[in-house]
């Protein structure tokens, strides 16, 4: 697991927006990186 940063949102907050992000996803191969980690990196 990576080090947390002050700019990271809480997982509870992320769960609110997860459905929106999931609905925008095209059907492709399964993810290799957790969506939460990608979101926080951006």
What is the residue extent of each domain of the chain?
11-40
Binned at pLDDT 50, 70 and 90, residue 33 comes out as: confident
Number of residues that make up the chain = 42
Residue 18: predicted pLDDT: 93
As a whole number, mean pLDDT of residues 11-28 equals 88
Task: Enumerate residues 6+ apart whose C-beta is below 8 A from 6.
Answer: none
pLDDT at residue number 1: 66
Confidence of residue 19 (pLDDT cuts 50, 70, 90): very high
- Residue (of 12, 16, 2, 5) closest to 34 by Cα position: 2
- pLDDT, mean of residues 27-39: 86
DSSP state of 5: -
Average pLDDT, rounded, for the chain: 87
């Amino acid at each position: 697991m990576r080090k947390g940063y002050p700019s990271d949102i809480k997982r509870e907050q992320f769960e609110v927006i997860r459905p929106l992000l999931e609905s925008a996803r095209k059907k492709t191969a399964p993810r290799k990186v957790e969506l939460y980690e990608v979101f926080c990196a951006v």
